[in-house]
């Protein structure tokens, strides 16, 4: 069978990388948001367990890896995305935050492509999964 095909990706894609992005931090994300988006963003950070005292510090570059991951996760969750593409989203997150994330994903049922080694997370949110197993 031959022929042409097209892949059409949605316009609003939420990307979250395995490593925290070095070129962005809390302050740079805040600068890009409208007043209403900032309100939602700060609310998401609170839901993810970030302390309010952290918000006063505009530079998140010296925050723990887990707190930095929450910054990028809140930003990835912000907006009406049609597709979520997340790589190792559970890195640096504690179980409480992971369970909150699982509950949110199960409630809203987004279209998602994710790579993660956390079996609890994968088993809790995946409707289909592909396991890559190295032969012994």
Q: What are phi and psi of 15, to 5 degrees?
A: -110, 135
Indicate whether 48 pLDDT > 90.
Answer: no
Higher-scoring residue by pLDDT: 61, 122: 122
How high is the pLDDT of residue 8? 82
Long-range contacts of 100-103 (CB under 8 A, 24+ apart): 100/47, 100/48, 100/49, 101/48, 101/73
Across the strands, what pairs with 41?
none
Task: Give one word for 3, left, alpha or beta, with left for phi > 0 and alpha for psi -120 to 50.
Answer: left
Burial of 94 (0-12, 13-18, 19+ CB in 10 A): exposed
All structural domains of the chain with their residue ranges: 13-125
113, pLDDT greater than 90 = yes
| Predicted pLDDT at 80 | 79
pLDDT at 59: 67
The pLDDT tens digits for 51-104 are 777 767 666 667 788 888 888 888 888 877 889 999 999 988 999 999 989 988
Answer yes or no: CATH 3.40.47.40 is held by domain 13-125. Answer: no
* Residue 22, pLDDT above cutoff 70: no
* CA distances in angstroms from 79 to 48, 51, 55, listed in the order given: 16, 22, 20
């Amino acid at each position: 069978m031959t022929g042409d095909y097209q892949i059409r990706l949605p316009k609003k894609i939420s990307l979250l990388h395995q490593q925290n992005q070095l070129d962005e931090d809390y302050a740079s994300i805040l600068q890009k948001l409208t007043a209403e988006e900032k309100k939602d963003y700060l609310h998401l950070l609170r839901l993810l367990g970030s302390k309010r005292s952290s918000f006063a510090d505009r530079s998140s570059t010296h925050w723990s890896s887990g707190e930095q991951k929450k910054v990028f996760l809140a930003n990835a969750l912000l907006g009406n995305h049609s597709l979520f593409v997340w790589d190792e989203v559970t890195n640096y997150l504690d179980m409480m935050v992971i369970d909150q994330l699982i509950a949110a994903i199960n409630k809203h049922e987004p279209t998602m492509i994710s790579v993660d080694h956390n079996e609890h997370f994968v088993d809790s949110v995946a409707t289909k999964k592909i396991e890559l197993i190295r032969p012994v």
